[in-house]
Amino acid sequence: MSFSAFLFYVLAAILLASAVRVVSARQPVHAALSLVLAFFTMAALWITLGAEFLGLALVVIYVGAVMVLFLFVLMMLDVRQTDKTPRWRLHLIPALAIGALMLLEIVLLIVDGVKTKTALPESAASMDKPLDNTRELGKLLFEDYLYSLELVGVLLLVGMIAAIVLTHRQSRFAKRQEVSEQIAVTRDDRLRVVSMPAEVEAEDATAHSPDKTGGH
């Protein structure tokens, strides 16, 4: 067994174990940290497959951003563990049955496809290529898939707006304009005309002021 085969089996074992831990952990924080481990292991698997840009992007985006988002939400929500809820027993049996059925079907499909040799290649073609994965991916992404890339950008924008709109709360202390009140205001709300006696100029004040005397 070569080293790459050994690496594949070790990484696959870690990946499956951390996936099991994600769905079965009692504390959500443990599930989140196991998911981080799963992402790291998947990134390592992708790098062994020759997709090093995607592996690094997975670490940066998921471990760096999405999982931090999960942990922030987990921290903000302060979910109390209510142990009176049934943990596994109620739905575990049908879930395992459905899962076993699905796994059986998929494995039969894959192995049958191998047996009848429906063009599953045996060795990775990208293993002996020079390591220019990122450059080739960039060319493909910005030439052939440019419209899809722009659509994904729009999708990210829409998701950002949706998340902000959903979670934004009006603050009690915020000051903002109310345009309807501004339009509905009348003259009497803002202006008050007061009748006052007119001022009378004193004789001494005019005599001592320099601009009046300099004019003569």
Partner 1 sequence: MPGLEPTLTHYLLLAAALLVISLVGIIANRRNVLVLLMAIELVLLSANLNFVAFSAYYNDLSGQVMTMFVLATAAVESAVGLALLILLFRRRGNIAVQTLDVMKG
Of residues 43-82, which lie at the interface with partner 1 (CB under 8 A)? 45-46, 49-51, 53-54, 57-58, 61-62, 65-66, 69-70, 73-74, 76-77, 79-80, 82
| Comparison of 141 and 213: residue with beta carbon closer to partner 1 | 141
Q: Which stretch binds partner 1 (CB under 8 A): 93-101, 178-186, 195-203, 205-213?
A: 93-101
Cβ neighbors of 4 (< 8 A, separation 6 or more) are: 48
- Residue 5 as a binder of partner 1 (CB under 8 A): the answer is yes
- Residue 144 as a binder of partner 1 (CB under 8 A): the answer is yes
Site for partner 1 in 108-127 (CB under 8 A): 110-111, 114, 120-127
3-state helix, strand, coil in the chain (%, to 5): 70, 0, 30
Neighbouring C-beta atoms of residue 5, cutoff 10 Å: 9
Helix (H, G, I), strand (E, B) or coil at 191: coil
Minimum distance from CB of 8 to partner 1 (Å)?
A: 4
Tokens standing for residue 25:
């952990």
Task: Say how far apart CA 85 and CA 105 lie, in whole Å.
Answer: 33
Question: Which one-letter DSSP state was computed for residue 129?
Answer: S
Site for partner 1 in 192-211 (CB under 8 A): none
Residue with tokens 């459905």: 98
Minimum distance from CB of 75 to partner 1 (Å)?
A: 11
